[in-house]
């Protein structure tokens, strides 16, 4: 019988259970996960938020597909403009490892207030270094460091990135490092 978990990945951890170098912090210390548990999709070391874990490879394929929305909160450097938001919504060319990729249209909005999120282990910076703003982006694709590349391409580099939703699964109220075992994933 397969097992499924929801984790709020903290800043500074990689989305894997074994590290090639002992210097990387891995997910195994958060819970006694069964053998064969895998992260569905990835969040890079500098990103935080919702990460689904499973022992079922078929569920992993579904979550990573373009059928399931992923929502992120991004704190960006500067006060993001309406023009930049529109460019992000329409799709933008970003560089992947070997080629250029045109991102698909997505939903992007400016957040009116700073979202309530777990305290980050390492501070970003404070207002003395200039203003920042928060946006929400909802995507159905996920290239390597895509959100960071998209915001940088429109002139507003990402300072903090937090995945808050995958399908119908929300991270609301979870603490950094918290793990919840679930019977199945309600992806909507």
Catalytic choice (44, 77, 82, 186): 44
C-alpha–C-alpha distance, residues 95 and 73, integer Å: 21
Residue 44 a catalytic site member: yes
User: How far is the C-alpha of 49 from the C-alpha of 51, rounded, in Å?
Assistant: 6
Residues in contact with 129: Cβ distance below 8 Å, sequence separation at least 6, in sequence order = none
Which residues neighbour 17 within 8 Å (Cβ) at sequence distance 6 or greater?
A: 26, 27, 28, 33, 37
Q: Are 54 and 5 in contact (CB under 8 A)?
A: yes
Q: Check: CB of residue 176 under 8 Å from CB of residue 10.
A: yes
Query: How many angstroms separate the CA atoms of 80 and 69, rounded?
Result: 23
- Structure tokens of 73? 């909160």
State the catalytic residues. 44
């Amino acid at each position: 019988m397969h097992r499924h978990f929801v984790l709020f990945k903290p800043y500074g951890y990689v989305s894997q259970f074994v590290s090639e170098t002992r210097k990387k912090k891995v997910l195994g210390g958060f819970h006694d996960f069964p053998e064969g548990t895998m992260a569905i999709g990835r969040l890079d070391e500098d990103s935080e938020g919702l990460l689904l874990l499973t022992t079922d490879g078929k569920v992993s394929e579904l979550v990573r597909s373009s059928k399931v929305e992923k929502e992120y909160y991004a704190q960006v450097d500067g006060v993001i403009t309406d023009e930049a938001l529109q460019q992000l919504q329409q799709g933008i060319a970003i560089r992947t490892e070997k080629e250029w990729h045109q991102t698909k249209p997505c939903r992007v909005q400016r957040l009116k207030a700073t979202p309530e999120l777990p305290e980050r282990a390492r501070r970003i910076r404070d207002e003395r270094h200039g203003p920042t703003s928060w946006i929400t982006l909802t995507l159905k694709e996920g290239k390597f460091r895509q959100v960071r590349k998209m915001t940088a391409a429109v002139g507003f580099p990402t300072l903090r990135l937090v995945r808050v939703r995958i399908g119908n699964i929300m991270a609301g109220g979870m603490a950094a490092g918290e793990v919840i075992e679930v019977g199945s994933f309600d992806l909507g």
